[in-house]
Amino acid sequence: MQWDDAGHALGVAEMDDTHREFLSFVSALEQASDADFPVLFEQARMHTRKHFEREYELMKSCRFPAVREHEAEHARVLADLSHLSARVQQGSLVMARAYVKGLPDWFRGHLATMDSALAACLKAHDMAQPA
């Protein structure tokens, strides 16, 4: 999955930049060799953790009404990544590779619902740097 401004941009520079980086990680993981996958998976996990922490700060700043639902979704993904990271570090890549294949579909849905609502909240409160 590659970044596409028409399909992915929310019009909030910080969010769009982070999402672009996230999709770069997903693409790299999809193509990574077994030797490269563990390090790249850990980098992607750390990036995602920081990404979600920053989104939480943005949610607090605009008093996002669906903060609990958004945070619950983030917590679920982080738990999945943490569990899979332990397996990857033990040399088992099969489940992590399957999870990575599903990330583009998850991202599309998350972007279209939760993240687009957060972007709208930021814009409504004049708290978004345009992309």
| 22 falls within a domain | yes
Rounded to whole angstroms, the Cα distance separating 37 from 34 reads: 5
- CATH code, 65: 1.20.120.50
| 41 falls within a domain | yes
| 131 falls within a domain | no
**What average pLDDT does the segment 117-131 reach?**
84
CA dihedral 99, 59, 23, 45 (to 10 degrees): -50
| 51 falls within a domain | yes
Q: Taking the complete model, does pTM exceed 0.85, yes or no? A: yes
pLDDT band at 96 (very low <50, low <70, confident <90, very high): very high
The count of structural domains within the chain is: 1
Rounded to whole angstroms, the Cα distance separating 114 from 79 reads: 18
DSSP 11: S
Query: Which residue type does 21 have?
Result: E
Structure tokens, 1: 């999955």
| 38 falls within a domain | yes
* Domain around 110: 5-124
| 63 falls within a domain | yes
